[in-house]
Amino acid sequence: MERESATTYEPKRNSEIRVFESLDEISTDLAEYISQISEISVKERGYFAIALSGGPLVSFLGKLCEAPYNKTLDWSKWYIFWSDERAVAKNHTESNYKLTKEGFLAKVPILNGHVYSINDNATVEDAAKDYEFVIRQLVKVRTIGVSESNDCPKFDLILLDMGSDGHVASLFPNHPALELKDDWVTYITDSPQPPPERITFTLPVINSASNIAIVATGDDKEKAMHLAVSDGTEGPEAPASLPARMVKPTDGKLVWFLDKAAASSLEAENGGDASYEHHEY
């Protein structure tokens, strides 16, 4: 299968940045990336446990619903989770579950019993506790892997979208939730973006994944992207608590999927770097 061309470089250990000319190219490469991780996970573990985020991310999953993936992937081994969810009803327009179901799940043969959404009838606090309990049960039977270094769940892939403020999942800049070490799932009631009540994976869970992919598109992401991966930024804009910068896989790999607009400051900075090359996938 002929792959799209993209510019890539590796700014840090265990991380890679891929820059694409168009959103369609991102979707094409992301589908191949997810497909490969799915095949490896099923072969090695018998399952593929993937956690999704909401927002614009779902629109990039469309290629997986088409040939060849809709026929070749072992969908019966897929287990779907959400790295964050809004505390709203499942049929609410702001529900990540609703968005994912309509844009992706309804178009592929993933088993309903393998889709783990939050309890939308519980309080946000109880929903977070319930979701963590479910994940703990699935880790016990190894449907979800376990990290050897910290006993956190080791998802095969956590797929995230970065906000213009640098947030990932529902972990926002300077929020106390960034400091949590022992919780797997937590809740917030003061999201700076509506709706205010959300559940979210914590950083230890995100960083324990075998693979993490972050999608960022649009020129409103340029500044946060620069802060997320640049070295030695100091002063009042120092990104010490920028959530996207805190995504550092413990034993896995992080891949960024960017369009030209989101990557513009990086491209200017790395244009003459020898590690910044043109590759064919």
* 271 located within any domain: no
pLDDT, tens digit (0-9, with 9 covering 90-100), for 161-203: 999 999 999 999 999 999 999 999 999 999 999 999 999 999 9
- Would residue 269 count as lying in a domain? no
What distance in Å separates the CA atoms of residue 222 and residue 231, rounded to the nearest whole number?
A: 15
Is the whole-model pTM more than 0.85?
yes
pLDDT tens digits for range 55-73: 789 999 999 999 999 999 9
Q: What angle do CA 21, 26, 165 make, to 5 degrees?
A: 90
Distance CA 235, CA 25 (A): 36
The pLDDT tens digits of the residues spanning 81-137 come to 999 999 999 999 999 999 999 999 999 999 999 999 999 999 999 999 999 999 999
**Is residue 91 one of the residues assigned to a domain?**
yes
> Does residue 178 sit within a domain?
yes
Number of domains comprising the chain: 1
CA distance to 69, 126, 134, 146, 188, per residue, from 139 (Å): 27, 20, 9, 6, 24
Q: Is residue 113 part of a domain?
A: yes
CATH assignment at residue 47: 3.40.50.1360
Q: CB–CB of 156/210 below 8 Å?
A: yes
Looking at the domain assignment, is residue 247 inside a domain?
yes
Segments forming the whole domain that contains residue 173: 7-264
* Distances from the Cα of 160 to the Cα of 10, 44, 171, 184, angstroms: 19, 24, 11, 16
Cα 67 to Cα 43, 58, 107, 109: the distances in Å are 21, 18, 12, 13
